[in-house]
Chains A and B, each alone.
Chain A
Amino acid sequence: MILPPEVAVEPGGEAAGMASMVAELLRANLADSRARARMARRARGSAVLMMSDRDLGVTVTFGPGVIVVSGSAVGAVPVLSGGWLEMAAVCTGTRSPLRALLRREIRVTVRPPVSVLATIAFTLNVPRAAGRARE
Protein backbone atom coordinates (compact mmCIF):
# COMPACT_ATOMS: atom_id res chain seq x y z
CA MET A 1 0.00 0.00 0.00
CA ILE A 2 1.28 3.45 -0.93
CA LEU A 3 0.66 6.09 1.66
CA PRO A 4 0.13 9.45 0.02
CA PRO A 5 2.29 12.28 1.33
CA GLU A 6 0.73 14.65 3.81
CA VAL A 7 -0.54 17.89 2.28
CA ALA A 8 0.02 20.97 4.43
CA VAL A 9 -0.98 24.58 3.89
CA GLU A 10 1.47 27.26 4.91
CA PRO A 11 -0.51 29.96 6.74
CA GLY A 12 -0.82 33.40 5.23
CA GLY A 13 0.00 34.63 1.78
CA GLU A 14 -2.06 36.74 -0.57
CA ALA A 15 -3.66 33.67 -2.16
CA ALA A 16 -4.47 31.85 1.09
CA GLY A 17 -7.86 30.72 -0.18
CA MET A 18 -6.42 29.39 -3.40
CA ALA A 19 -3.77 27.51 -1.42
CA SER A 20 -6.46 25.80 0.66
CA MET A 21 -8.38 24.81 -2.48
CA VAL A 22 -5.29 23.41 -4.20
CA ALA A 23 -4.42 21.48 -1.03
CA GLU A 24 -7.94 20.01 -0.87
CA LEU A 25 -7.71 19.02 -4.52
CA LEU A 26 -4.34 17.34 -3.95
CA ARG A 27 -5.52 15.49 -0.83
CA ALA A 28 -8.55 14.09 -2.64
CA ASN A 29 -6.59 13.07 -5.75
CA LEU A 30 -3.76 11.42 -3.81
CA ALA A 31 -6.22 9.50 -1.65
CA ASP A 32 -8.04 8.20 -4.74
CA SER A 33 -5.11 7.38 -7.02
CA ARG A 34 -2.15 5.19 -6.16
CA ALA A 35 -0.31 6.35 -9.29
CA ARG A 36 -0.63 9.97 -8.21
CA ALA A 37 0.38 9.14 -4.63
CA ARG A 38 3.44 7.26 -5.86
CA MET A 39 4.52 10.10 -8.15
CA ALA A 40 3.99 12.72 -5.45
CA ARG A 41 5.96 10.68 -2.92
CA ARG A 42 8.98 10.53 -5.23
CA ALA A 43 8.88 14.14 -6.41
CA ARG A 44 11.14 16.84 -5.03
CA GLY A 45 11.05 20.54 -5.78
CA SER A 46 8.64 23.42 -6.20
CA ALA A 47 6.39 24.82 -8.87
CA VAL A 48 4.13 27.84 -9.03
CA LEU A 49 0.51 27.82 -10.19
CA MET A 50 -0.34 31.31 -11.35
CA MET A 51 -3.84 32.65 -11.98
CA SER A 52 -2.68 35.27 -14.45
CA ASP A 53 -6.01 37.09 -14.72
CA ARG A 54 -6.03 37.55 -10.94
CA ASP A 55 -2.33 38.10 -10.45
CA LEU A 56 -2.42 35.46 -7.72
CA GLY A 57 -0.26 32.42 -7.37
CA VAL A 58 0.51 29.53 -5.07
CA THR A 59 3.69 27.56 -4.64
CA VAL A 60 3.50 23.80 -4.32
CA THR A 61 6.60 22.17 -2.84
CA PHE A 62 7.10 18.41 -2.93
CA GLY A 63 9.30 17.28 -0.06
CA PRO A 64 10.00 14.03 1.78
CA GLY A 65 6.61 12.78 2.96
CA VAL A 66 4.93 16.16 2.72
CA ILE A 67 3.62 18.57 0.11
CA VAL A 68 3.46 22.17 1.25
CA VAL A 69 1.14 24.62 -0.48
CA SER A 70 1.75 28.30 0.21
CA GLY A 71 -0.40 31.23 -0.81
CA SER A 72 2.28 33.15 -2.62
CA ALA A 73 4.33 32.69 -5.75
CA VAL A 74 7.96 32.55 -4.74
CA GLY A 75 11.29 31.53 -6.17
CA ALA A 76 12.78 30.87 -9.58
CA VAL A 77 10.85 27.67 -10.13
CA PRO A 78 8.73 26.23 -12.94
CA VAL A 79 5.47 28.11 -13.46
CA LEU A 80 2.15 26.98 -14.88
CA SER A 81 -0.02 30.02 -15.55
CA GLY A 82 -3.36 30.90 -17.07
CA GLY A 83 -6.72 32.43 -16.35
CA TRP A 84 -8.51 30.84 -13.40
CA LEU A 85 -11.24 29.30 -15.55
CA GLU A 86 -8.67 27.75 -17.87
CA MET A 87 -6.52 26.55 -14.98
CA ALA A 88 -9.54 25.02 -13.29
CA ALA A 89 -10.53 23.26 -16.50
CA VAL A 90 -7.04 21.87 -17.06
CA CYS A 91 -6.58 20.80 -13.43
CA THR A 92 -9.86 18.94 -13.29
CA GLY A 93 -9.41 17.20 -16.62
CA THR A 94 -12.22 18.94 -18.44
CA ARG A 95 -9.71 20.44 -20.86
CA SER A 96 -6.62 18.85 -22.38
CA PRO A 97 -3.41 20.51 -21.12
CA LEU A 98 -1.84 20.07 -24.56
CA ARG A 99 -4.77 21.76 -26.28
CA ALA A 100 -4.74 24.55 -23.73
CA LEU A 101 -1.00 25.03 -24.30
CA LEU A 102 -1.40 25.09 -28.07
CA ARG A 103 -4.20 27.63 -27.80
CA ARG A 104 -2.09 29.64 -25.35
CA GLU A 105 -4.80 29.44 -22.73
CA ILE A 106 -2.12 28.31 -20.31
CA ARG A 107 1.62 28.93 -20.37
CA VAL A 108 4.55 27.06 -18.95
CA THR A 109 7.75 28.68 -17.75
CA VAL A 110 10.34 25.95 -17.79
CA ARG A 111 12.94 26.10 -15.04
CA PRO A 112 14.61 23.35 -13.05
CA PRO A 113 13.44 21.02 -11.68
CA VAL A 114 11.46 20.41 -14.86
CA SER A 115 10.11 17.06 -13.66
CA VAL A 116 8.03 18.78 -11.01
CA LEU A 117 5.87 20.26 -13.78
CA ALA A 118 4.80 16.79 -14.84
CA THR A 119 4.21 15.85 -11.21
CA ILE A 120 2.04 18.85 -10.48
CA ALA A 121 0.08 18.45 -13.72
CA PHE A 122 -0.60 14.79 -12.98
CA THR A 123 -1.35 15.05 -9.29
CA LEU A 124 -3.74 17.98 -9.70
CA ASN A 125 -5.57 16.30 -12.55
CA VAL A 126 -8.69 14.68 -11.16
CA PRO A 127 -8.71 10.88 -11.66
CA ARG A 128 -11.32 9.89 -14.20
CA ALA A 129 -13.02 7.53 -11.76
CA ALA A 130 -13.32 10.10 -8.98
CA GLY A 131 -16.90 10.26 -7.81
CA ARG A 132 -18.86 12.94 -6.12
CA ALA A 133 -17.61 13.49 -2.61
CA ARG A 134 -19.37 15.33 0.16
CA GLU A 135 -18.19 17.72 2.81
Chain B
Amino acid sequence: MPDIYSTEWYDAVRAAINAGVTRLRTTPEGRFVVAVEIAADGRSPYVDGEGERRFLMEIEDGSCLWYRELDPGEDEKAHVAGRVDYRFRGPATVFDEIAAGLADPIDAALRGAITVRGDMRLLLRHAEHVKSLLEAYTNAVSTTWPLGRPPYEAATSGSEGAVARA
Protein backbone atom coordinates (compact mmCIF):
# COMPACT_ATOMS: atom_id res chain seq x y z
CA MET B 1 0.00 0.00 0.00
CA PRO B 2 1.43 3.41 -0.92
CA ASP B 3 2.06 6.19 1.57
CA ILE B 4 -0.32 9.13 1.44
CA TYR B 5 0.80 11.90 -0.98
CA SER B 6 3.69 9.77 -2.31
CA THR B 7 4.36 9.33 -6.01
CA GLU B 8 3.07 5.77 -5.77
CA TRP B 9 -0.11 6.95 -4.08
CA TYR B 10 -0.86 9.51 -6.79
CA ASP B 11 -0.09 6.91 -9.45
CA ALA B 12 -2.67 4.67 -7.81
CA VAL B 13 -5.19 7.52 -7.62
CA ARG B 14 -4.56 8.32 -11.27
CA ALA B 15 -5.16 4.69 -12.24
CA ALA B 16 -8.37 4.64 -10.20
CA ILE B 17 -9.58 7.87 -11.84
CA ASN B 18 -8.94 6.47 -15.28
CA ALA B 19 -10.67 3.19 -14.45
CA GLY B 20 -13.70 5.11 -13.17
CA VAL B 21 -13.91 7.26 -16.29
CA THR B 22 -14.53 4.21 -18.47
CA ARG B 23 -17.80 3.62 -16.60
CA LEU B 24 -19.21 7.11 -17.20
CA ARG B 25 -21.84 7.91 -19.82
CA THR B 26 -20.29 11.26 -20.69
CA THR B 27 -16.97 12.90 -19.98
CA PRO B 28 -15.81 16.48 -20.51
CA GLU B 29 -14.07 17.04 -23.82
CA GLY B 30 -10.72 18.74 -24.02
CA ARG B 31 -7.87 19.32 -21.63
CA PHE B 32 -8.10 20.83 -18.19
CA VAL B 33 -5.39 21.65 -15.72
CA VAL B 34 -6.30 21.31 -12.07
CA ALA B 35 -4.29 22.69 -9.16
CA VAL B 36 -4.72 21.30 -5.67
CA GLU B 37 -3.35 23.35 -2.77
CA ILE B 38 -3.15 21.61 0.57
CA ALA B 39 -2.43 24.15 3.27
CA ALA B 40 -0.84 23.53 6.67
CA ASP B 41 -3.32 23.82 9.49
CA GLY B 42 -1.32 22.84 12.55
CA ARG B 43 -2.97 19.44 12.76
CA SER B 44 -1.98 17.37 9.76
CA PRO B 45 1.56 16.01 10.06
CA TYR B 46 1.82 15.84 6.26
CA VAL B 47 2.17 19.58 5.65
CA ASP B 48 4.81 21.33 7.72
CA GLY B 49 4.65 24.65 9.54
CA GLU B 50 2.64 27.26 7.69
CA GLY B 51 3.50 25.92 4.28
CA GLU B 52 1.49 24.06 1.71
CA ARG B 53 1.73 21.19 -0.74
CA ARG B 54 0.79 21.96 -4.30
CA PHE B 55 -0.15 19.52 -6.99
CA LEU B 56 -0.98 19.91 -10.64
CA MET B 57 -2.81 17.41 -12.76
CA GLU B 58 -3.98 17.43 -16.33
CA ILE B 59 -7.24 15.86 -17.41
CA GLU B 60 -7.89 15.06 -21.06
CA ASP B 61 -11.29 13.80 -22.16
CA GLY B 62 -11.95 12.82 -18.56
CA SER B 63 -8.77 10.82 -18.02
CA CYS B 64 -5.88 11.94 -15.86
CA LEU B 65 -2.81 12.32 -18.07
CA TRP B 66 -0.31 13.26 -15.38
CA TYR B 67 0.07 14.73 -11.95
CA ARG B 68 3.01 16.51 -10.43
CA GLU B 69 3.82 17.81 -6.97
CA LEU B 70 5.46 21.21 -7.14
CA ASP B 71 8.51 22.04 -5.08
CA PRO B 72 8.10 24.90 -2.57
CA GLY B 73 8.30 28.17 -4.48
CA GLU B 74 8.21 26.44 -7.87
CA ASP B 75 6.24 28.34 -10.49
CA GLU B 76 3.30 26.30 -11.74
CA LYS B 77 3.56 28.07 -15.10
CA ALA B 78 6.67 26.02 -15.81
CA HIS B 79 4.40 23.00 -16.25
CA VAL B 80 1.25 24.53 -17.68
CA ALA B 81 1.02 25.83 -21.22
CA GLY B 82 -2.05 27.98 -20.54
CA ARG B 83 -3.63 28.83 -17.25
CA VAL B 84 -4.96 26.62 -14.51
CA ASP B 85 -8.63 25.81 -15.15
CA TYR B 86 -9.59 24.73 -11.64
CA ARG B 87 -8.05 25.36 -8.30
CA PHE B 88 -9.01 23.45 -5.13
CA ARG B 89 -7.62 24.77 -1.87
CA GLY B 90 -8.19 23.81 1.71
CA PRO B 91 -6.63 22.82 5.02
CA ALA B 92 -4.54 19.66 5.08
CA THR B 93 -6.72 17.97 7.67
CA VAL B 94 -9.73 18.18 5.37
CA PHE B 95 -7.80 16.64 2.47
CA ASP B 96 -6.39 13.96 4.78
CA GLU B 97 -9.84 13.09 6.11
CA ILE B 98 -11.19 12.88 2.58
CA ALA B 99 -8.38 10.55 1.53
CA ALA B 100 -9.03 8.44 4.64
CA GLY B 101 -12.71 8.19 3.76
CA LEU B 102 -13.74 10.14 6.89
CA ALA B 103 -15.05 13.20 5.06
CA ASP B 104 -17.12 13.63 1.94
CA PRO B 105 -15.36 15.76 -0.70
CA ILE B 106 -18.60 17.12 -2.14
CA ASP B 107 -19.74 18.18 1.32
CA ALA B 108 -16.35 19.82 1.90
CA ALA B 109 -16.74 21.87 -1.27
CA LEU B 110 -20.40 22.74 -0.71
CA ARG B 111 -19.72 23.80 2.88
CA GLY B 112 -16.68 25.84 1.86
CA ALA B 113 -14.06 23.80 3.72
CA ILE B 114 -12.42 23.42 0.32
CA THR B 115 -12.66 26.40 -1.98
CA VAL B 116 -13.14 25.80 -5.67
CA ARG B 117 -12.19 28.35 -8.31
CA GLY B 118 -12.75 28.06 -12.02
CA ASP B 119 -15.60 27.79 -14.50
CA MET B 120 -18.52 26.59 -12.39
CA ARG B 121 -20.67 26.03 -15.45
CA LEU B 122 -18.38 23.38 -16.85
CA LEU B 123 -17.74 21.89 -13.43
CA LEU B 124 -21.45 21.49 -12.69
CA ARG B 125 -22.19 20.30 -16.22
CA HIS B 126 -19.82 17.43 -15.59
CA ALA B 127 -20.78 16.84 -11.97
CA GLU B 128 -20.93 13.09 -12.54
CA HIS B 129 -17.32 13.13 -13.73
CA VAL B 130 -16.28 15.25 -10.76
CA LYS B 131 -17.99 12.76 -8.46
CA SER B 132 -16.15 9.87 -10.10
CA LEU B 133 -12.83 11.71 -9.83
CA LEU B 134 -13.36 12.44 -6.17
CA GLU B 135 -14.49 8.90 -5.41
CA ALA B 136 -11.17 7.66 -6.79
CA TYR B 137 -9.39 10.02 -4.41
CA THR B 138 -11.57 8.95 -1.50
CA ASN B 139 -12.28 5.25 -1.82
CA ALA B 140 -10.26 3.57 -4.49
CA VAL B 141 -6.75 3.44 -3.03
CA SER B 142 -5.58 1.61 0.06
CA THR B 143 -3.29 4.02 1.84
CA THR B 144 -0.72 3.89 4.59
CA TRP B 145 -0.26 6.83 6.95
CA PRO B 146 3.36 6.81 8.15
CA LEU B 147 2.97 9.92 10.32
CA GLY B 148 -0.42 9.00 11.73
CA ARG B 149 -3.89 8.57 10.37
CA PRO B 150 -6.79 11.00 10.78
CA PRO B 151 -8.88 11.89 12.70
CA TYR B 152 -6.30 14.07 14.42
CA GLU B 153 -6.58 15.65 17.81
CA ALA B 154 -7.74 19.26 17.79
CA ALA B 155 -4.92 21.78 17.44
CA THR B 156 -4.05 23.84 20.46
CA SER B 157 -2.76 26.72 18.34
CA GLY B 158 -3.79 26.20 14.78
CA SER B 159 -2.45 28.14 11.82
CA GLU B 160 -5.78 28.79 10.17
CA GLY B 161 -4.28 31.84 8.50
CA ALA B 162 -2.48 29.52 6.15
CA VAL B 163 -5.74 28.87 4.33
CA ALA B 164 -7.32 32.28 4.76
CA ARG B 165 -6.13 33.56 1.40
CA ALA B 166 -7.97 30.82 -0.49
Q: Give A contacts to B, CB under 8 Å.
A: 14-21, 24-25, 28-29, 51, 54, 56, 71, 84-85, 88-89, 91-94, 126, 130, 132-135
Contact = CB atoms under 8 A, between A and B. Distances in A.
Nearest to B106: A84
Contacts of B115: 17, 20
A16 B84 contact: no
Contacts of A89: 127
B110 A15 contact: yes
Given A85-B131, A132-B30, A15 B111 contact: yes
Contacts of B131: 85
B134 to A, nearest CB: 12
Contacts of A20: 112, 115-116
B58 to A, nearest CB: 14
B117 interface: yes
A134 B85 contact: yes
Nearest to A58: B110
A126 B125 CA distance: 9
Given A54-B106, A85-B127, A88-B127, A132 B119 contact: yes
Interface in B105-145: 106-125, 127-128, 131
B86 interface: yes
The 6 closest A-B pairs by CB, nearest first: A16-B112, A17-B112, A88-B127, A92-B125, A24-B120, A88-B124
Interface of B: 30, 82-87, 106-125, 127-128, 131
Contacts of A126: 121, 125
Contacts of B107: 54, 56
A29 B121 CA distance: 9
Nearest to A86: B127
A17 B112 CA distance: 4
Given A91-B124, A126-B125, A135-B87, A84 B118 contact: no
Contact of A133 (B82, B113, B119): B119
8 contacts: A15-B111, A17-B113, A21-B116, A84-B106, A92-B121, A132-B30, A133-B121, A135-B85
A24 B110 CA distance: 13
A109 to B, nearest CB: 20
A66 B85 CA distance: 27
A19 B109 CA distance: 10
A20 B85 CA distance: 17
A20 B115 CA distance: 9
A80 to B, nearest CB: 14
A56 B83 contact: no
A17 B121 contact: no
Contacts of A16: 111-112
A135 B119 contact: yes
